[in-house]
Amino acid sequence: MASVETVFLSGDQWLKNWLFSWGMPESWVFLCTVVVYAVAVLLFVFANVIFLVYLERKVAGYMQQRLGPNRVGPGGIFQCVADALKLLGKEDIIPASADRGLFRLASLLIFIPATMLFVVIPFGREMIVADLNVGLLYFIAVGSTATIAVLMGGWSANNKYSLLGSMRAVAQMISYEIPLAFSLLGVIMLAGSLRMSEIVAAQKDLWFVVLQPVAFITYFIAATAELNRGPFDLPEGEQEIIAGPFVEYSGMRYALFFLAEYANLVSVSALAVTLFFGGWQGPWLPSWLWFVIKVYFMIFLFMWVKWTFPRIRVDHLMGLAWKFLLPVSLVNVFVTGTAIKLFQAMGW
Amino acid sequence: MEVEKGRGGFLLSTVEFFLNHARARSFWPVTYGLACCAIEMMAAGGARFDIARFGYEVFRASPRQADLMIVAGTVTNKMAPLLVRLYEQMPEPKWVVAMGSCACSGGPFVDSYNVVKGVDTLVPVDVYVPGCPPRPEALFDGLLKLRAKVINPRVAKVAGDAR
Ligand code: SF4
């Protein structure tokens, strides 16, 4: 069991030793391992994303008493591979009136924050690419830059629907950023640190979801809105504005936006697991396996919500963020702070 | 022409082979229903018939992301230019399925002053699904025929190309 637990760590150690045995200087070895980490994170992201699209279609099927894709490969598992291949072979249309440079850039730019988020996620015991002392702050800061790419795509397409869609996306993502950040404050106060590894370590005995249920629910709602997923998928509301910011994108460029959404789904679920469900901690199984199991449980929750609730209206959406979630998360911060002080005063 | 292309070379024809198989298994239809046949098309997406089994359930609202136009219903002269525009907005490679006798030939309204007598007078049609309306099973059969056509581009050539 110990070897399974440390399979990735020992692989890393073996790689370093192998590089040193070639007589490489330390800085080069460091550079090589950074490249390997980056590739590993990218592989993790892509493998998950491809699988998630399949999972979403299957979950949607079962939620609606259908079977979902089941013809391509066993149980339809290769359905998304076929889709990805097909999208690769599609014509890449750039509208004549579009801002060509921005239009192209936006589809690439959307993926950068989506993958950068995984740098601070602890995948398992000592399995974190960069354990920043401001890890959580980094996550929120980088995560919110995705808005720019969406706005860029919507603006540069020079299409009224995509502009409307991207305006909606920006309004929604910025509004929900605030309750999201406040809901995380309670956890930070309990853990006393912004460093991901310390937040995980602080949940050794008790998961924070028990101490911070309100924060978790606020986080869950705000994160759903951040992801532009149903019931908050107004930016892409098909009945109103076709496909939102992505109306003019075709083929692989569209696929990049689509995949970035699923990459964000993984990262938001990973953050939820790290902050509220004890991260990689768990009995018997290896830590990274626990992490993956918990992340998939969170993803399933997101999908469940998406396929059971109808889309809400724009004004309700904003009202929910500013009139309900924000006060609730502020009260949560206040109550948490008071409780911490009280317990300290009582000497617990 | 197409037939010769298929024999072009080992490398490219293998790529074409894989791409065709992928394409044939993931038609994304554009969300476009015109008349009563569209109700049958929606039923095909529902739980009883479940078009998702074949992986064709991704109805895209934007023609830019669609590969397949299921012309489900009566095409009027007023709708005709919009249909052509939608078709032209779709990226290549793209296919058209004429669903129902209206789309195939004008159907019960063929004598009307305002009905297009078959959608093949506007855009190239790959598969005709007759019926008024065709049941979802018939639509699936049409889509599977289209799948066979996409996988074997040369055989489709022998059967006659709509374009
Ligand atoms: S073929 Fe029949 S069912 Fe279909 S659109 Fe025409 S009249 Fe309606």
Per DSSP, helices labelled H in A110-234 are 111-116, 135-144, 146-156, 160-191, 196-202, 208-211, 213-226
Pick the residue from chain A with its C-alpha nearest to B22.
Answer: A82
pLDDT score for B8 = 52
Confidence of residue B163 (pLDDT cuts 50, 70, 90): very low
pLDDT score for B1 = 41
Q: What is the pLDDT of residues A79-104, one digit of tens each?
A: 888 888 888 888 888 888 888 888 88
Q: Is the pLDDT of residue B6 over 60?
A: no
Contact A226, A184 (CB under 8 A): no
pLDDT score for B84 = 92
Q: What is the pLDDT of residues B12-21, one digit of tens each?
A: 677 888 888 8
Q: Which of A72, A76, A91 sits opposite B91 (nearest CB)?
A: A91
pLDDT score for B17 = 82
Q: What is the pLDDT of residues A227-246, one digit of tens each?
A: 888 788 877 777 778 877 88
Report whether residue B35 contacts ligand 1, using a CB cutoff of 6 Å. Answer: yes
Confidence of residue B162 (pLDDT cuts 50, 70, 90): very low
Residue nearest to atom 5 of ligand 1 (CA): B73
Q: What is the pLDDT of residues A109-158, one digit of tens each?
A: 888 888 888 888 888 777 777 778 888 888 888 888 888 888 888 888 88
For A163, residues 6+ apart whose C-beta sits below 8 A from its C-beta are A154, A155, A157
Q: What is the pLDDT of residues A254-292, one digit of tens each?
A: 888 888 888 888 888 988 888 888 877 778 777 788 888
Q: Which of A60, A70, A247 sits opposite B62 (nearest CB)?
A: A247
**Residue A249 and residue B64: Cβ atoms within 8 Å?**
yes
- Which residue from B71, B129, B132 has its CB within 8 A of the most atoms of ligand 1, so it is best to mutate? B132
Q: Tokens 């609202």 correspond to what residue?
A: B61
Report whether residue B73 contacts ligand 1, using a CB cutoff of 6 Å. Answer: yes
Distance in angstroms between the alpha carbons of the first and the last residue of chain A: 37
Q: Phi/psi zone of residue A147: left (φ > 0), alpha (ψ -120 to 50 degrees), beta?
A: alpha
Q: Which of B55, B60, B91 sits opposite A82 (nearest CB)?
A: B55
- Separation between Cα atoms, residue A304 and residue A320, nearest integer Å: 20
pLDDT score for B11 = 62
Beta strand B95-99 pairing with B127-129 = parallel
pLDDT score for B96 = 92
Q: Which residue has the higher pLDDT, A60 or B162?
A: A60
Range of the domain at A173: 2-345
pLDDT score for A331 = 92
Mean pLDDT of A45-62: 87
**Residue A238 and residue B61: Cβ atoms within 8 Å?**
yes
Point out the ligand 1 atom lying closest to the alpha carbon of residue B72. Answer: 5
**Residue B31 and residue A85: Cβ atoms within 8 Å?**
no
Q: How far is CA B108 from the centre of its chain?
A: 21
Q: Give me the residues of B, 23-52, that contact A with CB < 8 A.
A: 23, 25-26, 31, 46-47, 50, 52
Q: What is the pLDDT of residues B29-45, one digit of tens each?
A: 988 888 888 999 889 88
**pTM, to two decimals:** 0.84
By CB neighbour count within 10 A (0-12 exposed, 13-18 middle, 19+ buried), where does A228 fall? buried
**What is the ipTM for the molecules in this complex?**
0.77
Average pLDDT, chain B: 82
Report whether residue B46 contacts ligand 1, using a CB cutoff of 6 Å. Answer: no
**Residue A86 and residue B22: Cβ atoms within 8 Å?**
yes
For B71, the enclosing helix (H) or strand (E) is strand B68-72
Using a pLDDT cut of 70, give the percent of chain B over it: 87
If one counts the domains in chain A, the total is: 1
Q: Is the pLDDT of residue A173 over 50?
A: yes
pLDDT score for B156 = 53
Confidence of residue B9 (pLDDT cuts 50, 70, 90): low
DSSP single-letter state for residue A223: H
Q: Which residues of B touch A235 (CB under 8 A)?
A: none
Mean pLDDT of B62-79: 89
